[in-house]
Structure 1
Amino acid sequence: MINNVLLYPFIKEMFPLIQAFKLFNINYDVFSYSNSKLINKDISTLTNMEKLGVNIKDISKANLDNYDYCYIPKLKENWLINSQICDFISQLKNKGIKVYNGNLEDDGGQDELPLYNDALSKLTNNFSNLANQITENRNYLHTICKPIFFIAQAQEFLDTEYLVLLTKKILEEEGFKVVTISGRKHLRLFNCLNYPEDFLSNSLSFSEKVLRLNHFIKAIEIKEIPDVFVLEVPGTVLRYSKYDLNFPEYPYIFREALNCNFIMLNLSVKYATTDQIEHILILCKNIFGYDIDLLNISNNITVFEQERKKTTYLYSENVKKILLNLNNNSNIPIIQAFAPESKATILNNIYK
């Protein structure tokens, strides 16, 4: 696990990652570029969440000697040509600071972070190779004997990755050996594995992906002997509009490839009414073949204005009021991931 992390430049998509650093007791500081209007503001500013008491700092005042890792998020294109970022990365390299650069994920350029690239990447490749051997020898669906948790999202939300890491943390604190797998490469920073690259690409057919996933998980079960799997389901369950081409392919693949013991669904506050939740729960059961065990309500509200996707964030206080009303009228437990009480709710429902 990493130790002292510098996060720069701050963008709202960092919020769940910062919460995860806090969850795993990793030291961090958050910076924005000089003269940014965000300096000295709480990191919750852009997402309308409760204040964390963590203010955004001026990067020109950073003492780089205090850090051994730097996280640079995936940025908009205009940032990529910003010489300030390039010069900053050079400074980090000169000081021997490891860098995770989210802008290089797609072409494999993240090898500056050994923990991120070497050990876990080799481990993933080993499991992938063993999965290939399983396919060659016994090309059918294998029974996975260990419990499996699915973490799925109705649409793309900031807090889904935090739900994955929160579930991992809860189970580890209970003494379980947990294997956590996600399509998000930066979650390797928390010792999570990634799915094989071909599984997340268009190079395999639906049926090939079903076998690939089943054999990959079986290979890990054979080699690692975990107590439990926590799997983030790639993609989404719902579509936003006719402009949204995110079809629920992977939820169906997971249904065909694996049995599941617990499903957590992340849902927008936009759908947080009793009638809409009931409809979505029925839809999800048809997709996964299992009932949803726990709902998370995200404060993300995403709509399409023609072909342009626009996301806003409801204030956390308003989400709390909605949750209170829903929990009084629902048969399924409903949480908000970043709320302190969510941890206990998840744990209680795991043991039901």
Structure 2
Amino acid sequence: MNTNEPCAAVFPVDEDFMRLPNNDVIQLEGRQQKITYYLTLGGWNISSPNHIINVIDKFDFSQLDVLVLVNSYHFLEHRVIEDIIRIAAQNNIEIYWARDDRDVDRQAIEEMSDELKVCTSFICNEVAADISTVLHNFDIPIVSIAGVGPYVQKFQVGLKLRNDFVSAGYKTLYISSRREGVLFGARIFPEFLFENGMSFSEKIYGINHYIEKLCREEQPDVVLISVPGETMELSQKHKLDFGYLASIVFSAIKPDVSILNL
């Protein structure tokens, strides 16, 4: 589709994405991008009072230039991802991957995209870790947003707080636990936090130095941090990550205000 502004869609939207504030405009590679279409899978029964939700089986993809893959409560099967890449190849669509599926075979997706000549970009932060053994202190107010379990709307709360602080005239640095944060003008945690290969203490130093560097560069009045993972195991059945990621972040910074989403 040839227009002055690329025509963009997000997929697969669900209740989580539709509750995000200002979800009709995102940021892609430094530019403002209007979302024209919201796509979902048949059977998810997603509705919105403000937007038309299209099911991909009945959607005309020839209208699109850009497709942004976002997070969802529902599991997205690998065959659906492969179908999307094939559709993108047939319609000359550029794909941006903003999902947090850490178990997805990125190499396989990139190889399939290359084979079909699809431009697929992964939104992530692959900055190298600074693991020198000095913990920086912060004289800027820090607000943390943590959760006792998954899907407790940390991202929504962070975006709302940022909007409120900005509206009140405060320069705000928001570090999101989700890759989608980039789409909404937030910073995101570096990939080394989620990967193997570094020790617990090395990750603490790395995150501390990363946040200190952002504060030094951006000179914010307040810092919002959406803490990845959960603060503890939920039950004998649901161990989650035993609060591993949250322990790293809370060891790297000492918030002045802590919000806990239930």
Which TM-score bucket, shorter chain as reference?
0.7 to 0.9
Contact 1:5 1:71 in 2 (8 A): no
Equivalent residue for 1:7, pick from 7, 10, 20: 10
Alignment of 1:151-166 (within 5 A): 151-166=145-160
Task: Check 1:86–1:72 CA distance in 2 against 1; reply closer, same or farther (3 A cut).
Answer: farther
Structure 1 length as normaliser, TM-score?
Answer: 0.56
User: Alignment identity in percent?
Assistant: 19
2:88 corresponds to 1:89? yes
Deviations 1:170-205 (A, max 9, x none): 222223332222332222212222222222234333
Alignment of 1:264-283 (within 5 A): 264-267=259-262
| Separation (CA, whole Å) in 1 of partners of 2:159 and 2:237 | 31
Task: Check 1:262–1:24 CA distance in 2 against 1; reply closer, same or farther (3 A cut).
Answer: farther
Task: Check 1:101–1:255 CA distance in 2 against 1; reply closer, same or farther (3 A cut).
Answer: closer
| Separation (CA, whole Å) in 2 of partners of 1:4 and 1:62 | 12
Aligned twin of 1:212 = 206
2:196 corresponds to 1:193? no
Q: Which amino acid aligns with 1:85?
A: I
Alignment of 1:69-80 (within 5 A): 69-71=67-69, 73=71, 76=75, 79-80=77-78
Contact 2:176 2:188 in 1 (8 A): yes
Task: Check 1:210–1:86 CA distance in 2 against 1; reply closer, same or farther (3 A cut).
Answer: closer
- CA shift for structure 1 position 236: 1.0
Structure showing greater relative contact order (alpha-carbon pairs closer than 8 Å, 6 or more residues apart): 2
- CA shift for structure 1 position 140: 1.9
| Separation (CA, whole Å) in 2 of partners of 1:158 and 1:216 | 26
Contact 2:98 2:180 in 1 (8 A): no
| Separation (CA, whole Å) in 1 of partners of 2:166 and 2:90 | 37
Deviations 1:238-290 (A, max 9, x none): 322212223123333333322212211110xxxxxxxxxxxxxxxxxxxxxxx
Aligned twin of 1:303 = none
Task: Check 1:260–1:4 CA distance in 2 against 1; reply closer, same or farther (3 A cut).
Answer: farther
Aligned twin of 2:246 = 251
Task: Check 1:208–1:170 CA distance in 2 against 1; reply closer, same or farther (3 A cut).
Answer: same
- CA shift for structure 1 position 63: 6.0
| Separation (CA, whole Å) in 1 of partners of 2:100 and 2:247 | 30
The more displaced of 229-238 and 199-208 is 199-208
- DSSP-derived class of the 1:57 partner: strand
Equivalent residue for 1:31, pick from 39, 44, 48: 39
Structure 1 unmatched runs, 5+: 44-51, 268-352
Alignment of 1:90-239 (within 5 A): 90-92=89-91, 94-95=92-93, 97-100=94-97, 102=99, 106=104, 107=106, 112-113=120-121, 116=123, 121=125, 125=127, 128=128, 131-132=130-131, 135=132, 139-239=133-233
- DSSP-derived class of the 1:20 partner: coil
| Separation (CA, whole Å) in 1 of partners of 2:148 and 2:101 | 27
Cα RMSD after superposing both structures: 3.4
Structure 2 length as normaliser, TM-score?
Answer: 0.72
| Separation (CA, whole Å) in 2 of partners of 1:3 and 1:147 | 39
Aligned residues: 235
Aligned twin of 2:53 = 56
- DSSP-derived class of the 1:145 partner: coil
Contact 1:153 1:237 in 2 (8 A): yes
Contact 2:10 2:35 in 1 (8 A): no
Task: Check 1:62–1:21 CA distance in 2 against 1; reply closer, same or farther (3 A cut).
Answer: farther
Contact 1:151 1:232 in 2 (8 A): yes
Higher helix share: 1
| Separation (CA, whole Å) in 2 of partners of 1:208 and 1:103 | 22
Larger radius of gyration: 1
Contact 1:152 1:232 in 2 (8 A): yes
- CA shift for structure 1 position 69: 4.0
Q: Which amino acid aligns with 1:249?
A: Y
Task: Check 1:21–1:86 CA distance in 2 against 1; reply closer, same or farther (3 A cut).
Answer: farther
